[in-house]
């Protein structure tokens, strides 16, 4: 059954992002509505056993990489056990986290064979970070990032850029990659329910490169891009790490998309921007075969951005406004 998750555009889907939980211990402005999200009964979400069973089904269908997301995955009560069980599968494991609780789980990650950490950090200025996240955890996150690098984890720092908020820190972030093997990833601010997105807040690829040219003219080069990469990557000459730009809106990477998202309540989203979902959890609890549902979801995937064309008209707005907030998708 391996390698069967191919959509109508010939894209093979072998990368599964599993959201463990919708809740988060931060309240980042671009991710979660200011009023938070509605808390639901735990019966609406996958149990540990159900999650592992669904993950195994995807692996049988050709998935070779699993990334754990949230909300914040590290606040999941049984995170360490879930991680250990997933580590028994023939997949590459990774996690996206806000980094607050990393110090509690480094041993569990090593035991499960997880080496790749994507850590969200949207400002190097403590006061600004607190304003963006609506919490005060900067010092702990920064300490955990340094510990992760020191202990040999493969660390990416995810930076959601917002105009007139943190776009004046682009060079400061890139400088972090000078003496440490950090991968800095600048991510375009994207529209989701409740995050007050508009085009004026978008920092484009060209604007980032303009700043790099100003400080590092003729001192950097573009790296080879992997087939399914979401970012265009660059390296400053002599730096240990690199930086990349993920331009989901202005320079989409849909042609090579290999991603599937499984939400914490057991639904497939075949595109980050899609408001269409397929309920696997209910079918599984009813004893149904979920394989046809998975295949049907993948084959119904749009060619680009869930059918959204410009993000400028009312039809497009209705799609992303009816989508979930980022914290309930898993990114």
pLDDT tens digits, 227-265: 888 899 999 999 999 999 998 777 777 889 999 999 999
Three-class SS of residue 166? coil
Return the structure tokens found at 313.
């008209």
Contact (Cβ atoms closer than 8 angstroms) between residue 87 and residue 111: yes
pLDDT tens digits, 143-181: 999 999 999 999 999 999 999 999 999 999 999 999 999
Return the residue matching tokens 């920092």: 203
Interior angle at CA 192, CA 7 and CA 308, nearest 5: 45
Q: Residues for the chain: how many in total?
A: 331
Q: Which of 96-110, 193-207, 268-282 has the highest mean pLDDT?
A: 96-110
Domains by residue range for the chain, with CATH: 15-329 (3.20.20.70)
Average pLDDT of the chain is 90
Reply yes or no: is the peptide bond before residue 71 cis, omega within 30 of 0.
Answer: yes
Q: What is the DSSP string of 238-302?
A: T-SSEEEEE-TTTS--GGG--EEEE-TTSEEESSTT----EEHHHHHHTT---HHHHHHHHHT--
Return the residue matching tokens 């403590």: 126
The whole-number average pLDDT for the span 302-313 is: 75
pLDDT tens digits, 123-145: 999 999 999 998 999 999 999 99
Contact (Cβ atoms closer than 8 angstroms) between residue 93 and residue 116: yes
User: pTM of the prediction?
Assistant: 0.92
Distance, in Å, from the CA atom of 37 to the CA atom of 89, rounded to the nearest integer, reads: 33
pLDDT band of residue 116 (cuts 50, 70, 90) is very high
Q: State the pLDDT at residue 230.
A: 87
Terminal Cα distance for the chain, rounded? 27
Distance, in Å, from the CA atom of 121 to the CA atom of 138, rounded to the nearest integer, reads: 9
The whole-number average pLDDT for the span 211-224 is: 95
The whole-number average pLDDT for the span 283-300 is: 97
Residues β-bridged to residue 188:
161
pLDDT higher than threshold 70 for residue 327: no
Q: State the pLDDT at residue 265.
A: 96
pLDDT higher than threshold 80 for residue 12: yes
Phi-psi region of 221 (alpha: psi -120 to 50; beta: other; left: phi over 0): beta
Contact (Cβ atoms closer than 8 angstroms) between residue 168 and residue 123: no
Return the residue matching tokens 């998202």: 261
Pairing of strands 116-120, 267-269: unpaired
pLDDT band of residue 312 (cuts 50, 70, 90) is low
Greater confidence (317 vs 77) lies with 77
Distance, in Å, from the CA atom of 331 to the CA atom of 21, rounded to the nearest integer, reads: 12
Contact (Cβ atoms closer than 8 angstroms) between residue 35 and residue 269: no
Three-class SS of residue 89? coil
């Amino acid at each position: 059954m391996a390698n069967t998750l191919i959509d109508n555009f010939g894209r093979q889907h072998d990368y599964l992002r599993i959201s463990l939980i919708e809740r988060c211990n931060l309240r980042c402005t671009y991710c979660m509505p200011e009023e938070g999200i509605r808390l639901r009964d735990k019966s609406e979400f996958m149990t540990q056993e159900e999650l592992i069973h669904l993950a195994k089904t995807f692996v049988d269908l050709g998935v070779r990489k699993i990334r754990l997301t949230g909300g914040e995955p590290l606040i999941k009560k049984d995170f360490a056990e879930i991680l250990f069980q997933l580590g028994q599968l023939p997949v590459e494991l990774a996690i996206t986290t806000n980094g607050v609780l990393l110090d509690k789980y480094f041993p569990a990650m090593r035991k499960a064979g997880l080496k790749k950490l994507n850590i969200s950090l949207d400002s190097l200025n403590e006061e600004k970070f607190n304003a963006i996240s609506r919490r005060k955890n900067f010092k702990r996150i920064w300490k955990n990032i340094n510990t992760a690098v020191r202990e040999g984890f493969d660390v990416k720092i995810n930076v959601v850029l917002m105009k007139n908020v943190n776009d004046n820190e682009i060079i400061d972030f890139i400088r972090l990659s000078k003496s440490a093997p950090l991968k800095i990833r600048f991510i375009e601010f994207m529209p989701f329910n409740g995050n007050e997105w508009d085009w004026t807040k978008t920092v484009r690829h060209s604007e980032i490169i303009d700043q790099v040219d100003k400080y590092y003219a003729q001192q950097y080069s573009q790296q080879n891009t992997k087939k399914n990469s979401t970012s265009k990557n660059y390296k400053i000459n002599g730096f240990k790490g690199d930086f990349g730009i993920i331009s989901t809106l202005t320079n989409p990477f849909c042609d090579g998309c290999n991603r599937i998202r499984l939400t914490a309540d057991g639904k497939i989203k075949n595109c980050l921007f899609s408001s269409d979902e397929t309920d696997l959890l209910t079918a599984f609890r009813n004893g149904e075969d979920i394989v046809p549902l998975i295949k049907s979801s993948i084959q119904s995937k749009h060619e680009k951005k869930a059918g959204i064309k410009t993000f400028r008209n009312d039809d497009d707005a209705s799609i992303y406004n009816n989508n979930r907030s980022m914290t309930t998708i898993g990114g």
